[in-house]
Structure 1
Amino acid sequence: MADPSHLIRQEIVSLTPYNAGLTIGEVRRLYDPPRIAKLGSNENPYGPSPAVAEALAATTGQLHLYPDPSGRDLAAAIADRHGVDPAQVILGNGSEDLIAVVCRTVLSPGDRMATLYPSFPLHEDYARLMGADVDRVTARADLSIDADGLLSAVRAAPKLVMFANPMNPVGSWLTGDQMRCVVETLPVETLLVVDEAYAEYAVGDGYVSVLDALKAADRSWLVLRTFSKAYGLAGLRIGYGIASSPALVAYLDRARTPFNTSALAQAAARAALEDPGHMATCISIVRSERARVREFLASRGIMAAPSNANFLFFDCGMESTVFATRLLERGVVVKPWKQDDYRSFVRVSIGLPSENEQFMAAIAETIA
C-alpha cells in the first residue's frame, strides 16, 4: 500500500493522537470483566432528564429535513438563561468542536496561544494544528493554578488565551477575584476563551463563572459550555459558546460546518435545559461521592488534587498506563494521563456509588 506520509502537513504528523479512552464494548472484548465501571470520560452516570426522551421522540418525524443551522430556538433559550443576546450564542458539535472553530478562525502560523498545563489536550492540539506556538502555565506543585503565572502570560499579549476553569484534568479552579484580574489584564489584541465545561459542578469555594465579569469588558472573548457533562448528553454531541459580540459569532460561523448540530441534539438540549432540577440532583450526589472517593484515596496514601468538577486527578506512583491496565483487568476504566511530566497521573470520573465502590475495591487490590 502507498505510504501517504509525504502528503501530510507537519503539524498533523507531530500531533499525538487524542486519547478518547476505551468503550464498554472494547473493555468487555479485551478483559471480559463481570462488571464494568466506566470512569474515564467524565460522563454523567445518571443520564439526562427524562424529558429528553420525549423531545427526541417528538423530533423523529423531521429527520429527513436539515436542522436549523444556527439552532435559533436553542440559542434563544441559552441566551435567556445567561442574560445575553441570542446573536451572541454559537452552537457546536460538543464544545471541543468550537475549540477547533476558534483556532481555525483566529490563529495563523507563528501566532502564540497561552493555556494552563496540564491541559485538555485539544486546547493545545488545535492551536498547533494551525501552526501556532503554545505557551504553558504549569500548575503549582500542589496542583493549584498558578494565577500569577497566568497573568504574566496574559500580559504578554498572545493572540489567544484559552483554558478550562475548573481546570481539566486537575479540577483546580480560579476564584472570582482571580478571574476578574485576568479580565482586567486582557490586552485588546488577545482573544480570551474560557472553557467552562464543568461549571455546573463548580459550586462554592470561591468559584464563579467568568461570564458576568466579561459582560462589562470591552474586549473580545468567548465562554464555552457543554451539554455532555452535567446535562448527560455526551452521546448526542452538543455544546455552545457565548461570545462578546454578534460580530465575533459571525466570523466563527464562517469556520464551522453549516449543520454542525443535529435536530435531535438541539431538541434534547432544549429539554435538558428546561429541567434544572434533574441536573441539580445529579450534581449533589456527585459532589458527595467525590468527597467520599477523595477521602478513601487519602486513606491509602494517594493525595488527589482538590477538585471542583466531577473527577479527581492523582499520582498513582507508576506509569499511568500500567496502573490503568491493572484497573481495566478489574473492570474499571480510568484515564491515564499522557502529557509530559504527568505520566504517572490518572484522572477518574465520579460515577454511581456502586461504580465508585468498584473503583475503590480495585485500588485496594492494585495497591496490595
Structure 2
Amino acid sequence: MNHALAPAASAALIRAEVAGLPRYDPGADPDEVAALGGVRRVIKLSNSESPYGVSPAVAAAVRRGLAGGVARYPDPTGKRLTEAIGRSLDVPAGRVVLGNGSENLLELLCRAVLDPGDLVVTQAPGFSLHETFPRVMGARVEKVPVTAEFGFDAAAWRDALAAGPKLVFLANPCNPTGTTLTSGELARVVADTPASALLVLDEAYGEFARADPEYPDGLEALRALDRPWIVLRTFSKAYGLAGLRVGYGIASDTTLVQALDQVRTPYNVNQPAQDAAVAALGDHAHLADTVRRTRLEISRVTDRLRGAGLCVVPSSANFLFIDTGCRSDRVAQQLHRAGIIVKAWREPGYETYIRASLSTPEDNDVFVRCLTEICAKDTA
C-alpha cells in the first residue's frame, strides 16, 4: 500500500521566506495552448527568444561537441570561454564569471552577499528574480517605481539608495518595459550608490540597445570605479542560445569572482553551451543582422499598435510592454485561443499590461491583428 505523507509534515520544514515566494511565470505551455486553440503552430512571444536562431558557426560548434561525446563533465572553469570574453572586452579572464544563464549569477550574488535583513534596491516594474532571489535569503527589497511616462525617477532612486542597501539591481534596458537609462542617468545612480553596496548592472538585453547613441556601455561606465560592481550579460537573447543557458558577468575584482565560484555548483555551464558561446562571440555578422531585424520589427509593430489606439512603451529591447486597457490575464487567455502566448504582467499597478517579445514579421502581423481585435471588443 502506498502511504503518502501528509502535506503539513513537509510544509513545516520549509523556511518562511521560501513558502511565501511567488512562482516564476515562464508563460503558458505551448502544447496546452495548441490544444486549447486547436492550432497546429503556436506563436510564442513570452520568453524573449530569438526567432532568427543561432549562427551557422554556433550550430557547427554544437555538432562537433556532441560528436565528441557528452559522457565527460564540462570544463569547470570555462577557461576557453572566459578568455574569449576577456579578449572581446579587454578585461582579464580572471574577472569573468560564467553562469547557467545570467539569472544563475543573480542567484549566486544573493547567496554570496546577502544576510537576513539586508536591504536590496531594484526597479518597478522589473524582472521578478531581482526580487525573488534576495527574498530567498531573507533580505528586504525596495522597488523604485518609474515615472508616469516610464522614465527614470532620479529623486526616488536617490532616496532609496540613501537608505544604505547592500545590493543594488539595475537593469538597462529594463525588463519588462524595454526603456533605457542615458549615460547621465546611469552616472547619477552610480554616484548615489553607497561605496559599501554591490552595484549589479543587468545588461541582458544590451545588444539590442547599443545601436542607440544615448545608450551607455555599462562596463565602460563602471570600469574605473574603486568600489564593488558587476555587469551581467547573456547569450540567451540576441545570440539565440536560450536553450543552452549561458550567461556571464564582468566583475570589479577577482575577489568577487572567487566568492561566486565558491557558492556555485562546480559544473554550472555545460560544455556544448561553452563551445556555442565561444562560436557566437566570434560571429559578429549574425549578431548584427539579428539586432537589425529585431529593431526594425520593434519600430514597425510599435507604430501599428499605437495606430490602433494602444499604449506601447518605447522599447530598446526585443519585446514590447503594452497597456491593453483590460485585465492582462484575460487578454492573454484570449490570445491563447488564437495560438499566441504572451506574458501577462501581474506586478501591482501594471495588471493591464502584457509583455510580448517579437518574432518574425509574419508572426508579428498575426499578433497585432489578434490583439487589436481583442482589445477593441473588450473596450467596446
Q: CA deviation at 1:24?
A: 2.6
Letter of the 1:221 counterpart: W
**Which runs of 5 or more structure 2 residues have no equivalent in the other structure?**
none
Q: CA deviation at 1:6?
A: 1.1
Letter of the 2:346 counterpart: K
Distance 2:35 2:81 in 1: 39
1:1-368 to 2 correspondences below 5 Å: 1=4, 2-3=6-7, 4-60=10-66, 61-202=68-209, 203-204=211-212, 206-366=214-374, 367-368=376-377
Q: CA deviation at 1:360?
A: 0.8
Distance 2:17 2:111 in 1: 13
Q: CA deviation at 1:32?
A: 2.4
Q: CA deviation at 1:244?
A: 0.4
Aligned residues with identical type, % of pairs: 45
Q: CA deviation at 1:157?
A: 2.3
Letter of the 1:333 counterpart: I
Query: Do the aligned residues in 1 keep the contact of 2:236 with 2:243 (CA within 8 Å)?
Result: yes
Distance 2:45 2:149 in 1: 24
Distance 1:201 1:142 in 2: 21
Query: Do the aligned residues in 1 keep the contact of 2:36 with 2:336 (CA within 8 Å)?
Result: no
Q: CA deviation at 1:49?
A: 0.7
Q: CA deviation at 1:186?
A: 2.5
Distance 1:112 1:325 in 2: 37
Superimposed CA distance per residue, residues 296-315 of structure 1 (whole angstroms, 9 cap, x where no aligned partner): 11111111111110111021
Superimposed CA distance per residue, residues 192-220 of structure 1 (whole angstroms, 9 cap, x where no aligned partner): 00110000000215111211121100010
Query: Do the aligned residues in 2 keep the contact of 1:113 with 1:161 (CA within 8 Å)?
Result: yes
Query: Do the aligned residues in 2 keep the contact of 1:37 with 1:333 (CA within 8 Å)?
Result: yes
Letter of the 1:22 counterpart: A
TM-score (norm 1): 0.97
Query: Do the aligned residues in 2 keep the contact of 1:145 with 1:172 (CA within 8 Å)?
Result: no
**The residue matched to 2:249 in structure 1 has which SS?**
strand
Distance 2:221 2:205 in 1: 18
Distance 2:111 2:244 in 1: 23
Letter of the 1:337 counterpart: W
**The residue matched to 1:98 in structure 2 has which SS?**
helix
Superimposed CA distance per residue, residues 238-284 of structure 1 (whole angstroms, 9 cap, x where no aligned partner): 10011000111001111111100000000011111110110110111
Q: Which runs of 4+ in 1 moved over 4 A?
A: none
Superimposed CA distance per residue, residues 145-182 of structure 1 (whole angstroms, 9 cap, x where no aligned partner): 22332233223320000121100001111101211222
Moved more, 105-114 or 172-181: 172-181
Q: Would you say how many aligned residue pairs link Structure 1 and Structure 2?
A: 368
**The residue matched to 1:234 in structure 2 has which SS?**
coil
Q: CA deviation at 1:25?
A: 2.4
**Which runs of 5 or more structure 1 residues have no equivalent in the other structure?**
none
Q: CA deviation at 1:34?
A: 4.1
Distance 1:246 1:222 in 2: 11
Distance 2:356 2:306 in 1: 14
Superimposed CA distance per residue, residues 78-108 of structure 1 (whole angstroms, 9 cap, x where no aligned partner): 1111111100000000000000000011111
Backbone CA RMSD of aligned residues: 1.2
Q: CA deviation at 1:185?
A: 2.7
Q: CA deviation at 1:183?
A: 1.9
Query: Do the aligned residues in 2 keep the contact of 1:119 with 1:168 (CA within 8 Å)?
Result: yes
Query: Do the aligned residues in 2 keep the contact of 1:289 with 1:350 (CA within 8 Å)?
Result: yes
Q: CA deviation at 1:110?
A: 0.4
Query: Do the aligned residues in 2 keep the contact of 1:95 with 1:240 (CA within 8 Å)?
Result: yes
Distance 2:167 2:74 in 1: 31
Query: Do the aligned residues in 1 keep the contact of 2:169 with 2:200 (CA within 8 Å)?
Result: yes
**The residue matched to 1:249 in structure 2 has which SS?**
helix
Query: Do the aligned residues in 1 keep the contact of 2:82 with 2:93 (CA within 8 Å)?
Result: yes
Distance 1:348 1:148 in 2: 30
Letter of the 1:47 counterpart: G
Letter of the 2:305 counterpart: L
Q: CA deviation at 1:31?
A: 2.5
**The residue matched to 2:200 in structure 1 has which SS?**
strand
Query: Do the aligned residues in 1 keep the contact of 2:311 with 2:324 (CA within 8 Å)?
Result: no
